[in-house]
Amino acid sequence: MEQAPGYVKSERHGHAVIVEFFHPQSNSLPLALLNNLASHILEAGLDEEVRVIILQSAGDRVFCAGASFQELSQIKTARAGEEFFNGFASVINNMRKCPKLIIARVQGKAVGGGVGLIAAADYAIAVAGADIKLSELEIGIGPFVVGPVLERKLGLSVFSQLAIDAGSWRTADWAKTRGLYSEVHATLYDLDESLQRLTQRISHSNPKAVKEIKKMFWHGTDHWDQLLSERAKISGSLILSPLAQQAISLHNKA
């Protein structure tokens, strides 16, 4: 495969690290960016001077369009499919195991795996218009890798609504009332003002206390390394189905 465009970068500001990702196709995520994102989160988590991580994407329209359809169309074997979806598994597991609190800055819409990244954050601040949907069933697969983190955050009932009605957008306010977003603000200015306030407070907290709180939040997920790997295998196999390949082809032509 060709080198994926886009980037992942980290910027340190005092005790806070901003981890930002970008892809020209609506901040979608090919495997290379997923692997880089997992590495940046791991590195920030290991830095003793860091107390809070801000996860954000570039631009002001779309937070994350989920999996890269261009890269999905290039998958020809179940093993390659499993490897791709394990990229999402690695990011989620690194966020889960990171001893620092992770705040998601959601400045636009999120689809599929992008919704999973938001759910894997410990706190999410969004702007009005940051609507969400899980589109996986529409393309012949399902939200298998992101399923555990969404069910944990939202509950089985809400997760099942998103998974089954895969074509419908849910508003940012809907997502807030269900627990995905902690805050929803009218403007990006208001979002960033609240984000700065919260970041400053966490930066001055006891890192040992934060670590213990993080462990408490994710209690009972120690088996997720294996679970998400198993889910990646399911998605990797289903992506090769004729129905999925047709849906991906139609999306890439649109």
Mean pLDDT for the chain overall: 96
The answer as to whether 152 is a domain residue is: yes
- pTM of this prediction? 0.96
The answer as to whether 230 is a domain residue is: yes
The answer as to whether 182 is a domain residue is: yes
- Whole-number pLDDT of residue 214: 97
The answer as to whether 216 is a domain residue is: no
Q: What is the CATH number of the domain that holds 151?
A: 3.90.226.10
| Neighbour tally for 2: CB within 10 Å | 9
How far is the C-alpha of 129 from the C-alpha of 121, rounded, in Å? 19
Q: How far is CA 21 from each of CA 30, 47, 132, rounded to the nearest angstrom?
A: 11, 20, 18
Convert the pLDDT of each residue in 134-159 to its tens digit: 999 999 999 999 999 999 999 999 99
The count of domains in the chain is 1
- Whole-number pLDDT of residue 4: 60
The answer as to whether 132 is a domain residue is: yes
The answer as to whether 1 is a domain residue is: no
Convert the pLDDT of each residue in 188-241 to its tens digit: 999 999 999 999 999 999 999 999 999 999 999 999 999 999 999 999 999 999
Closest CA to 211 of 77, 57, 98: 98
For residue 167, give its domain range. 7-204+223-253
- Whole-number pLDDT of residue 141: 95
How far is the C-alpha of 89 from the C-alpha of 232, rounded, in Å? 7
The answer as to whether 214 is a domain residue is: no
At 107, the pLDDT band (50, 70, 90 cuts) reads: very high
Q: What order of strands is seen across the sheet that includes strand 109-111?
A: 62-64, 109-111, 132-133
| 3-state DSSP of 89-158 | HHHHHHHHHCCCEEEEEECCEEECHHHHHHHHCCEEEEECCCCEECCHHHHCCCCCCCHHHHHHHHCHHH
The answer as to whether 211 is a domain residue is: no
What number is the average pLDDT over the span 169-182? 98
- Whole-number pLDDT of residue 188: 98
For residue 78, give the amino acid letter.
A
Closest CA to 135 of 237, 250, 225, 58: 250
